């Protein structure tokens, strides 16, 4: 199947070679008298054999005007009909002439133009190529990236022209990459060598894939070596992205665990109340966020929707704090000093709360949308994207942590809470209303659980069982960190998050989770007081 | 443990295993289970008002398995003061051991007509994994039903009790253990059928399992086991060993100062309790016809505690009554008004801990004595719980060690 006139080794599927050669010829022929879309061109793009149509499309792109653009758009929207003699752009039922835009009568033999997948990808690439001269820098960059995905030597002149006109360095870099990937597909070994060297600088898994593919049917030893070197270089770059990515997901999980455990650090760590309904307080915070979302959707204009989350933060805090205060007043205060009973009673409360939410909102998960300013992400490296919602949660966890630390160590309420937990009778003698402080402290811990729920609603499912999945983890964090310790809670949460994600890459998610649980079980045997035990006379 | 100096104290004489009335009640129960139930089910015609339907046989058989669990929970929690949230794991382990045997008994009658259990064929395994080696033999299975929960309980308990992990800490790490095991059993690679577990059993000892006779046999066996375990528990609790257990519950430090090492006591009762749960699980699986990792979910383990609490901790009849009350209510409510079941169960947890520290049995006893609810019995319970709270926290934990007794006094 080798082509007799080609000296260079076989380098691409035959189809592309054909297209490339033919197009270059055509481009040469057409170049001097660059003209806009003609009726003949439109007909060629719309009818005939798939190969020929792609050829016509690629050729039209080289010298595109607004009409060409509109026609290609119409083609990809399936809004073109064609007869044997001419193609028509359909606007509803009205046919228009693709060249002039004038309304014309549709001949009876005109039929819908059908595009198969092969044609669709050609059309997509053509659309991307057309955008290389867009006014918007981001659009141009996206177009260059799209061209990289489907390199075709026929578009080389197009890229060269775009490069000549391009001012923005970021887009120039992209275009250079696109040029290199296109050259990599060339049948000239020297060009491929040049391309492989240029691609060393790329740090993208896509390019790596492309290079690997080229390597598999490359037979020029020099080019082969250059490609291998480029792949090694890229791997080096990617490794950093991967490592940072694991660290980031670990920190993200850690921040979520921290938020979930922080409230528990107050109710269990400081007050000594085993609250098995803590997970359900998280769930209530998440549902409060959902309610705010629905309220904003229903009663406020669309432009305000992005702010629902900001409004949901205090609401979820108050909702959970209120439920927490009611629990403390109604049940838990009768059980102080009886931890096992507290455990069972709060478990019962958690069942009641789950069923209440099920009865109110239904057993299915409810959908909580990210506001627009939280969707998307920050592309740090080609293979490392930090989603904004995770970044916001990490920041939020830090802020909540700082707030709690401030509250406990610097405010009057914090002083009372510490006083009551350290020595209740003396605090009482000093005139502290210990029962009220208990309620406040419990409400505070519950409110923080609500904040955790608000954050969780942005990254996970919100359903009645949301809390159940966090309760074991939260207790692990508090127990591991050391009871009565905020700093310990922080370290334990981040440590568990990182350990979980690091192990996950190695053993898989389930085994990682098991390993972490077993580690905690063993750890508690050795150090029942946690990592950071308070040093005191009792110790 | 003979004291060095002669003591004027005379130890109370050992009480009989059961009082005369107790033995009578026991015999009645035995006859009910072994004779009356089979007759009502098999001999009485279906239309008769006295006929015991197959559904009821299955339900009561299932609840009797739960009652064994509640009894086991009572030994470790009611009498020794250690709340385990991991008894569902021992129950499931016993069930899995039995399930493995039953899977092998299917033989070539599975949907893939292979010697291997269906799920292994499905996973494209060519031979039995190592831990299935003994599953072909019934005797080995019986040994494993006892040995596996016992071994796990021994290893876990030895480490936990040796480092003097107590109270809530112990409860939480037993829960963590159960969750870890559940995740492990959910994996297909673990070799226990993953999500679906074991089901579609055909035979036991070569006899078809789905017949009425077999069902009745399993029912009688379960009832006899329950009554047997009841006598065993009664004997344990009444002995000196049982006294030490209760002393550990009420004031572990004082027990240690008196020269006892609590470790062997706690460890042995922990293992006995685990084995009882394992046996219950093994009896449960052939009657219900399925075992899957859902049995290990933390909720199931906590439910065992509420059976014991509803009936009355530190009484032996209580947990059995509790298991029947709660599960009877469950099977009725989940059909009649499924949305209220969790409200009921949750409310039960709250009401029992707040108002019925001694459960239904305690309530009945108080009513019989004609005393108000805040009678000495409740106060005594309160006192014991108070000291339990004081000891709950490891001594090295700072502010709490001083804070909690104060809280206890307030409560």
Own/partner long-range contacts of A34-39 (Cβ < 8 Å, ≥24 apart)? A34/A63, A35/A63, A36/A63, A36/A64, A36/A65, A36/A67, A36/A68, A36/A99, A37/A64, A37/A65, A37/A67, A37/A68, A37/A71, A37/A98, A37/A99, A38/A99, A39/A86, A39/A87, A39/A97, A39/A98, A39/A99
Chain B residues within an 8 Å CB radius of A339: 167-168, 389, 392
| Residue-level pLDDT at B153 | 95
| Residue-level pLDDT at A25 | 54
Decide if B400 touches A, using CB distance below 8 A. Answer: yes
| Residue-level pLDDT at A22 | 58
Cα(B227)–Cα(B220) distance, integer angstroms: 11
> B211-236 as b/e, with b when 16 or more CB fall inside 10 Å?
eeebbbebbbbbbebbbebbeebbeb
Whether the Cβ atoms of residue A185 and residue A179 lie closer than 8 Å to each other: no
Cα(A345)–Cα(A347) distance, integer angstroms: 5
Decide if B388 touches A, using CB distance below 8 A. Answer: yes
Q: Which residues pair with A103 in a beta bridge?
A: A96
Chain A residues within an 8 Å CB radius of B386: 337-338
Mean pLDDT taken over chain B: 83
Among the partner-chain residues B162, B168, B186, the one whose CB lies closest to the CB of A340 is: B168
CB atoms within 10 A of CB A372: 9
| Residue-level pLDDT at A136 | 75
Among the listed residues A517, A483, A475, the one whose alpha carbon sits nearest the alpha carbon of residue A499 = A517
Q: Chain A residue closest to B409 (CA)?
A: A337
Q: Do A472 and B183 touch (CB under 8 A)?
A: no
Which of A344, A504, A527 to probe the B interface (max B CBs under 10 A)?
A344
Chain A residues within an 8 Å CB radius of B389: 337-339
Query: How many Å lie between the alpha carbon of A283 and the closest alpha carbon of chain B?
Result: 17
Decide if B403 touches A, using CB distance below 8 A. Answer: yes
Low-confidence ranges of chain A (pLDDT < 70): 1-36, 149-154, 201-203, 381-382, 483-485, 528-539
Q: Do B398 and A334 touch (CB under 8 A)?
A: no
Chain B residues within an 8 Å CB radius of A441: none
Cα(B307)–Cα(B327) distance, integer angstroms: 8
Cα(A204)–Cα(A158) distance, integer angstroms: 23
Among the partner-chain residues A339, A356, A539, the one whose CB lies closest to the CB of B168 is: A339
Whether the Cβ atoms of residue A158 and residue A61 lie closer than 8 Å to each other: yes
Q: Do A338 and B400 touch (CB under 8 A)?
A: no
Q: Do A348 and B305 touch (CB under 8 A)?
A: no
Q: Do A521 and B348 touch (CB under 8 A)?
A: no
Chain A residues within an 8 Å CB radius of B159: 522, 525
CB atoms within 10 A of CB B339: 12
Among the partner-chain residues A272, A347, A534, the one whose CB lies closest to the CB of B302 is: A347
Following DSSP, what letter does each residue of A76-98 receive, concatenated? HTT-EEE-SS-EEEEETTEEE-T
Write the pLDDT tens digit of every residue in A79-112: 888 887 778 888 777 788 877 777 787 777 777 8
Low-confidence ranges of chain B (pLDDT < 50): 373-411
| Residue-level pLDDT at B281 | 95
Which DSSP state fits A111? E
Percent helix, strand and coil across chain A, each to the nearest 5: 70, 5, 25
Q: Chain A residue closest to B355 (CA)?
A: A334
| Residue-level pLDDT at A354 | 92
- Domain extent listing, chain B: 27-395
Q: Do B353 and A352 touch (CB under 8 A)?
A: no
Q: Do A339 and B395 touch (CB under 8 A)?
A: no
Q: Do B179 and A423 touch (CB under 8 A)?
A: no
Decide if B338 touches A, using CB distance below 8 A. Answer: no
Query: How many Å lie between the alpha carbon of A324 and the closest alpha carbon of chain B?
Result: 15
Whether the Cβ atoms of residue A447 and residue A348 lie closer than 8 Å to each other: no
Q: Do A484 and B169 touch (CB under 8 A)?
A: no
Decide if B167 touches A, using CB distance below 8 A. Answer: yes
Q: Do B343 and A352 touch (CB under 8 A)?
A: yes
Size of interface A-B (CB pairs under 8 A): 197
| Residue-level pLDDT at A26 | 53
Cα(A349)–Cα(B363) distance, integer angstroms: 23
> Which helix (H) or strand (E) is B65 found in, with range?
helix B54-73
Cα(A283)–Cα(A261) distance, integer angstroms: 14
> Which helix (H) or strand (E) is A321 found in, with range?
helix A308-330
Four-CA torsion B369, B371, B374, B380, nearest 10 degrees: -40
What are the strands, taking DSSP E only, across B222-326? Answer: 290-291
Write the pLDDT tens digit of every residue in A160-178: 777 777 777 777 777 777 7
HSE (side-chain half, CA atoms, 13 Å) at B252: 25
Query: How many Å lie between the alpha carbon of B339 and the closest alpha carbon of chain A?
Result: 7
Chain A residues within an 8 Å CB radius of B346: 347-353, 355
Whether the Cβ atoms of residue A13 and residue A187 lie closer than 8 Å to each other: no
Among the partner-chain residues B168, B180, B395, the one whose CB lies closest to the CB of A538 is: B395
Which value does ipTM take for this structure? Answer: 0.80
What are the strands, taking DSSP E only, across A382-533? Answer: 384-387
Q: Which residues pair with A378 in a beta bridge?
A: A386
Query: Which residues are within 8 A (CB) of A336 and not within 5 positions of it... i.e. 6 or more apart?
Result: A273, A342, A438, B407, B408, B410, B411
Which DSSP state fits A374? G
Mean pLDDT taken over chain A: 79
Distance of CA B259 to the CA centre of its chain: 31
Task: Give the β-pairing of B198-199 and B290-291.
Answer: antiparallel
CB atoms within 10 A of CB A494: 19
Decide if B347 touches A, using CB distance below 8 A. Answer: yes
HSE (side-chain half, CA atoms, 13 Å) at A158: 30
């Amino acid at each position: 199947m080798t082509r007799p006139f080609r000296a260079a080794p076989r380098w691409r599927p035959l189809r592309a070679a054909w297209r490339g050669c033919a197009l270059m010829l055509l481009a040469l022929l057409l170049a001097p008298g660059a003209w806009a879309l003609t009726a003949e061109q439109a007909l060629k793009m719309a009818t005939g054999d798939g190969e020929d149509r792609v050829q016509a499309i690629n050729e039209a792109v080289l010298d595109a005007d607004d009409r060409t653009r509109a026609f290609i758009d119409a083609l990809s929207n399936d809004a073109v009909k064609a007869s044997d003699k001419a193609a028509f752009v359909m606007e509803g039922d009205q046919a228009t002439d693709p060249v002039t835009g004038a309304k014309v009568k549709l001949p009876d033999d005109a039929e819908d133009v059908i595009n198969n997948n092969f044609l669709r990808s050609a059309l997509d690439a053509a659309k991307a190529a057309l955008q290389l001269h867009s006014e918007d820098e981001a659009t141009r960059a996206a177009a260059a990236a799209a061209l990289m995905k489907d390199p075709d030597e026929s578009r080389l002149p197009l890229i060269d022209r775009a490069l000549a006109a391009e001012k923005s360095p970021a887009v120039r870099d992209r275009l250079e990459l696109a040029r290199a990937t296109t050259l990599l597909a060339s049948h000239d070994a020297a060009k491929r060598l040049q391309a492989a060297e240029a691609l060393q600088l790329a740090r993208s898994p896509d390019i790596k894939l492309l290079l690997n593919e080229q390597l598999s049917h490359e037979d020029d030893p020099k080019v082969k070596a250059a490609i291998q070197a480029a792949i090694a270089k890229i791997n080096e770059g990617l490794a950093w992205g991967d490592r940072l990515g694991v660290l980031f997901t670990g920190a993200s999980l850690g921040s979520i665990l921290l938020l979930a455990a922080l409230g528990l650090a107050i109710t269990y760590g400081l007050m000594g109340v085993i609250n098995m309904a803590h997970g359900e307080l998280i769930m209530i915070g998440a549902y409060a966020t959902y309610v705010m979302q629905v309220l904003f959707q229903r009663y406020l204009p669309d432009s305000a929707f992005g702010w629902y989350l900001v409004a949901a933060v205090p609401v979820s805090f108050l909702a959970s704090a209120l439920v927490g205060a009611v629990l403390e007043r109604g049940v838990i205060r009768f059980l102080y000093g009886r931890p096992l009973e507290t455990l069972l009673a709060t478990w019962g409360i958690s069942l009641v709360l789950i069923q209440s939410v099920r009865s109110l909102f239904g057993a299915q998960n409810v959908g909580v949308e990210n506001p627009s300013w939280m969707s998307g992400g920050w592309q740090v490296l080609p293979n490392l994207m930090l989603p904004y919602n995770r970044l916001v949660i990490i920041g939020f966890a830090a802020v909540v942590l700082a707030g709690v630390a401030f509250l406990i160590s610097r405010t009057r309420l914090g002083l009372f809470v510490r006083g009551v937990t350290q020595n209740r009778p003396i605090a009482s003698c000093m005139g502290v209303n210990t029962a009220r402080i208990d309620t406040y402290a419990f409400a505070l811990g519950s409110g923080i659980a609500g904040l955790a729920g608000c954050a969780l609603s942005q990254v996970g499912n919100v359903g009645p069982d949301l809390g159940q999945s966090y309760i074991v983890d939260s207790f692990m964090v508090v127990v591991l960190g050391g009871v009565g310790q905020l700093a310990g809670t922080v370290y334990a949460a981040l440590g568990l998050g990182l350990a979980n994600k690091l192990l996950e890459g190695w053993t898989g998610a389930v085994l990682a989770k098991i390993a972490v649980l077993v580690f905690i079980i063993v750890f508690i045997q050795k150090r029942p007081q946690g990592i950071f035990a308070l040093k005191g006379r009792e110790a | 443990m003979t004291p060095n100096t002669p003591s004027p104290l005379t130890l109370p004489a050992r009480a009989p295993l059961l009082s005369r009335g107790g033995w009578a009640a026991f015999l009645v129960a035995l006859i009910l289970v072994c004779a009356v139930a089979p007759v009502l089910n098999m001999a009485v015609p279906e239309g008769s008002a006295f006929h015991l339907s197959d559904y009821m046989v299955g339900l009561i058989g299932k609840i009797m398995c739960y009652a064994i669990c509640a009894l086991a929970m009572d030994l470790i929690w009611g009498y020794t003061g250690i709340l385990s949230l991991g008894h569902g794991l021992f129950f499931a382990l016993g069930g899995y051991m039995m399930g493995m045997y039953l899977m092998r008994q299917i033989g070539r009658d599975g949907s893939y007509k292979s010697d291997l259990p269906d799920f292994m064929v499905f996973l494209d395994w060519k031979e039995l994994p190592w831990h299935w080696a003994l599953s072909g033999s019934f005797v080995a299975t019986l040994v494993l039903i006892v040995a596996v929960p016992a071994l796990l309980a021994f290893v876990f308990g030895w480490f936990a009790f040796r480092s003097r992990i107590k109270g809530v800490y112990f409860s939480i790490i037993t829960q963590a253990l159960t969750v870890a095991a559940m995740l492990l059993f959910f994996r297909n690679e673990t070799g226990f059928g993953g999500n679906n577990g074991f089901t579609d059993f055909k035979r036991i000892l070569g006899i078809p399992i789905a017949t009425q006779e077999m069902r009745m046999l399993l029912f009688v066996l379960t009832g006899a086991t329950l009554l047997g375990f009841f006598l065993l528990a009664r004997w344990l609790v009444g002995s000196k060993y049982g006294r030490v257990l209760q002393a550990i519950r009420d004031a572990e430090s004082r027990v240690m100062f008196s020269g006892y090492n609590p470790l062997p006591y706690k460890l042995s009762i922990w293992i006995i309790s685990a084995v009882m749960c394992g046996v219950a699980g093994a009896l449960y699986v052939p009657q219900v016809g399925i075992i899957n990792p859902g049995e290990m979910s933390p909720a199931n383990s906590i439910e065992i505690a509420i059976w014991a609490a509803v009936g009355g901790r530190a009484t032996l009849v209580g947990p059995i009554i509790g298991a029947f009350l709660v599960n009877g209510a469950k099977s009725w409510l989940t059909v009649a008004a499924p949305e209220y079941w969790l409200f009921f169960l949750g409310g039960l947890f709250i009401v029992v801990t707040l108002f019925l520290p001694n459960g239904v049995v305690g309530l009945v006893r108080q009513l019989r004595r004609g005393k108000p609810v805040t009678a000495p019995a409740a106060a005594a319970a309160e006192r014991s719980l108070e000291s339990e709270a004081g000891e709950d926290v490891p001594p090295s934990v700072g502010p709490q060690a001083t804070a909690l007794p104060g809280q206890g006094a307030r409560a």
